A and B are shown apart, each in its own frame.
Chain A
Amino acid sequence: MRPTGVLLVGVVKLLVGAYGRWIGSAPGPAQRIYFANHTSHIDTLAIWSALPRSLRRSTHPVAALDYWGKGLKRYIATQALGAVLIDRSRQDPNADPLDPLRIALRAGDSLIIFPEGTRGASAVPAPFRQGLFKLAAEFPAAELIPVYLDNLHRSLPKGAHLPVPMVCTVRFGAPLARIEAEGRDAFLVRARDAVIGLSSQAA
């Protein structure tokens, strides 16, 4: 891991703990798509810090190009975290924003995505967008791991600039089962329920 990455993980652990809890799955080298609720700017870093060091190199957070695409933030995202940038605002109408994600998945790497598409203010995630469904259909071998981030919406809510240090946990759940011929909406509801289901688990 690069020195910047080590430093970042240290700062994140100091501020918010980011303790990983594996409930129903174990850390392993299998290809995975981690999907999580999104409430703060530290979310990406928190999940990444909670993963064992050996998995960080092959696990890419997916970050919004409009926020992480410039200056120091771009350096942190791409150089330290190996993030894949996604163009949510579709600057090029002909390009599929999911293409950079497909490249990473085709290479056998894992992804961390936030299917709500943007940060929410509450402990319960907003409805999921369809990207997760598409990727799940195109890459049937990748395990779909629901992740619930606890307390981060209190530590660094939308609009705040300085985190209040708090003990936050990152709960990794059991892989989401794939159901033959399941429709998009049913799948997305089930995926979201899997994330919410982790929120009530005892820490």
Chain B
Amino acid sequence: MNTWLASIPREFFWLFGSLVALLAIASGAAAWLRSRPAGEKKAASRANLVARINAWWVMVAILAVAFLAGSTVTLILFGLASFFALREFVTLTPSNPGDRLPLSLSFFVVLPLQFVLIGLHRYGLFAIFIPVWAFLLLPSIAAMRSDVDDFLSRSAKQQWGLMVTVYSLSHAPALLMLDIPGAAGRDALLLFYLLLVVQMSDVMQYVFGKLFGRTKIAPVVSPSKTVEGFVGGGIAATLIGAAMWWITPFTPLVSGVISGVIVVMGFLGGLTLSAVKRSLGAKDWGVMIEGHGGMLDRTDSICFAAPVFFHIVRFFYT
């Protein structure tokens, strides 16, 4: 028990403690806000705020459990997140009877294997399993059904779903298999860092957008994204990331640069998946997390930020 506790970096407890304190303040403030009289529109946006904070509590609780319980539990949790994200994607993607087998294989074989490979620390196969094996074999299986209606369009959509929801997302827990010299046992903090910067960026962009948002970046794709929100929120999140350098192998300056990259990639992820979503004719991806639309609405930024962050760290620090 004592050695187990000792194996967890001290920084984790600091982080976790401050997050809980922050959330407690946020929940208190939201409760106070809700107790004040308000019009219908204001009441709705306050209810939305409370739902967002509550979902954060859930995420922090899950993170704490994952980190204290070790990498297997973390992998299972991310595997489930991936499963739900793929489920949302497949629900909105048109499919033919000929796609049933490749789709089932995606859920029940490809997805679990991708996460098992991380657990086994098989980086080589992890990196090529979906882009090479799944990418070539799944459409081949569909082709054997000789159903050519919209074949390219159907397989392209399914491949995209697999790449984003499984391959990209799996790069977040893949941080756990990096062996950074001099930082043994601290990989989980890198994962924490990634999630924190991504989520902070989302929240800050939302707040700055609500306060100062005027110029829409892409009105058709994502009406809520504004230049002011992105710049203000992005800079705030980058500064928060820079200030978190002490849990990473980075210097404060490098931490700021890397946070900036995470912010930009996260933003692009939100924007691009929003375009995908709208082209499939939906506003929200699903009903998974209260107030957050769906699993993909919550993880879209991580899907784009995780692979880039993973490769930056792997290239420069291992």
Contact = CB atoms under 8 A, between A and B. Distances in A.
B287 A164 contact: no
Nearest to A165: B87
A167 interface: yes
B291 to A, nearest CB: 15
B134 to A, nearest CB: 16
B107 A164 contact: yes
A179 interface: no
- Chain B residues touching A, range: 10 to 19
B232 interface: no
A165 B85 CA distance: 11
B247 to A, nearest CB: 34
Contacts of A163: 104
B107 A154 contact: no
Interface in B77-114: 83, 86-88, 90-91, 95, 97, 100, 103-104, 107-108
Nearest to A160: B100
Contact of B91 (A14, A157, A162, A167): A167
Interface of A: 14, 17, 19, 151, 154, 157, 160, 162-167, 203
Given A154-B95, A164-B90, A165-B87, A19 B287 contact: yes
B307 interface: no
B233 interface: no
Given A19-B287, A164-B104, A165-B83, A151 B91 contact: yes
Contacts of B88: 167
Given A162-B100, A164-B107, A165-B87, 15 more contacts: A17-B87, A17-B286, A19-B287, A154-B95, A160-B100, A162-B104, A162-B108, A163-B104, A164-B104, A165-B90, A165-B107, A166-B87, A166-B90, A167-B91, A167-B286
B91 A166 contact: yes
Contacts of A162: 100, 104, 108
Contacts of B86: 165
B83 A157 contact: no
Contact of B103 (A14, A157, A164): A164
A17 B83 CA distance: 12
B110 to A, nearest CB: 13
Contacts of A166: 87, 90-91
B91 to A, nearest CB: 4
Contacts of B100: 160, 162, 164
Interface of B: 83, 86-88, 90-91, 95, 97, 100, 103-104, 107-108, 286-287
A135 to B, nearest CB: 33
Contacts of A14: 83
A121 to B, nearest CB: 10
A163 B104 CA distance: 7
A65 to B, nearest CB: 29
27 contacts: A14-B83, A17-B87, A17-B286, A17-B287, A19-B287, A151-B91, A157-B97, A160-B100, A162-B100, A162-B104, A162-B108, A163-B104, A164-B95, A164-B100, A164-B103, A164-B104, A165-B83, A165-B86, A165-B87, A165-B90, A166-B91, A167-B87, A167-B88, A167-B91, A167-B286, A167-B287, A203-B287
A195 to B, nearest CB: 21
B7 to A, nearest CB: 32
A162 B97 CA distance: 12
Q: Kindly list the 6 A-B residue pairs having the minimum CB-CB distance in the complex, ordered from nearest.
A: A167-B91, A165-B87, A166-B91, A164-B103, A162-B104, A167-B286
Contacts of A160: 100
A191 B16 CA distance: 55
Nearest to B101: A162
B138 to A, nearest CB: 13
Nearest to A150: B91
B31 to A, nearest CB: 27
Contacts of B87: 17, 165-167
B143 to A, nearest CB: 18
Nearest to A151: B91
Most chain B CB neighbours (cut-off 10 Å) among A14, A160, A165 = A165
Contacts of B90: 164-166
Nearest to A16: B87
A194 B273 CA distance: 36
Contacts of A17: 87, 286-287
A182 B103 CA distance: 47
Contacts of B107: 164-165
A203 B90 CA distance: 17
B16 to A, nearest CB: 28
A101 to B, nearest CB: 33
